[in-house]
Amino acid sequence: MDSTIKDIYLAGGCFWGTEHFFKQVKGVVDTEVGYANGIIDNPTYQQVCTDTTKFAETVHVCYDPSVITLKFLLSLYFKAIDPVSVNKQGHDEGTQYRTGIYYTDLQDLSVIKNVCESEQKNYNEPLAVEILPLVNFYNAEEYHQDYLDKNPDGYCHLPLKLFEFAKKAIDSEVLT
């Protein structure tokens, strides 16, 4: 990966819609879906669905920090999730659908915490978003990658208008 490109791992329910959402954002240069922070090696989708592997469906988001900041990317993330819902997003239920922000760069932690503290002010309930270092990440099977590009009428828990919003989102803090 180019040294100027950064990454973050975001769990936001079913990874099909979460990936498609982030692919629309200017400054996101690559995405891949997979399973993060579980307890077995090389899990399959069928294993993750058993609710026993502790994996979260997660999107690995690679972004160009000269175009988009982590702060802005996370603000978009919060528009695509219900941050107080525990193990559930849309109609999808189970621990694999929990929300989480998994980081690989310890320097990102202060930004993550600041964004979450700011978001918490919008809710009376505590946020149910995990904030943890990435322990492991395994790519999901090929049929899950870019699923909504391959299956435009496929299931998605996110409203279509959110994808249009993501296409138009501009990070005003980045001078281009």
Selecting among 14, 49, 62, 156, the annotated active-site residue is 14
Kindly calculate the radius of gyration of the chain based on its CA atoms and give it in whole angstroms. 15
The answer to whether residue 83 is domain-embedded is yes
Q: What are phi and psi of 85, to 5 degrees?
A: -80, 130
Asked if the structure places residue 132 within a domain, the reply is: yes
Does residue 31 surpass a pLDDT of 90?
yes
Residue 1 lies in a domain: no
Average pLDDT rounded to a whole number, residues 74-101? 97
Q: Please tell me the predicted confidence (pLDDT) of residue 21.
A: 98
Residue 30 placed within a domain = yes
Relative orientation angle of helices 160-168 and 15-23, to the nearest 10 degrees: 30
pLDDT tens digits, one per residue of 106-160: 999 999 999 999 999 999 999 999 999 999 999 999 999 999 999 999 999 999 9
| Average pLDDT across the chain, whole number | 95
Q: Within 13 Å of residue 139, how many CA atoms lie on the same side as its CB?
A: 7
| Per-residue model confidence (pLDDT) at position 60 | 98
pLDDT at residue 38 in the model: 98
Residue 2 confidence class, pLDDT cut points 50, 70, 90: low
Q: What is the CATH number for 64?
A: 3.30.1060.10
How far apart are alpha carbons 109 and 74 in whole angstroms? 12
Tell me if residue 14 is catalytic.
Answer: yes
Number of domains in the chain: 1
108 is a domain residue: yes
The answer to the question of residue 40 being in a domain is yes
- The CA distance from 55 to 43, in Å, is 9
Asked whether residue 176 is domain-assigned, the answer is: no
* pLDDT band for position 175 (cuts 50, 70, 90): low
- The residue range of the domain holding 149 is 6-168
What average pLDDT does range 77-106 have in this prediction? 97
Instruction: Provide the whole-model pTM.
Output: 0.96
Q: Is residue 174 part of a domain?
A: no
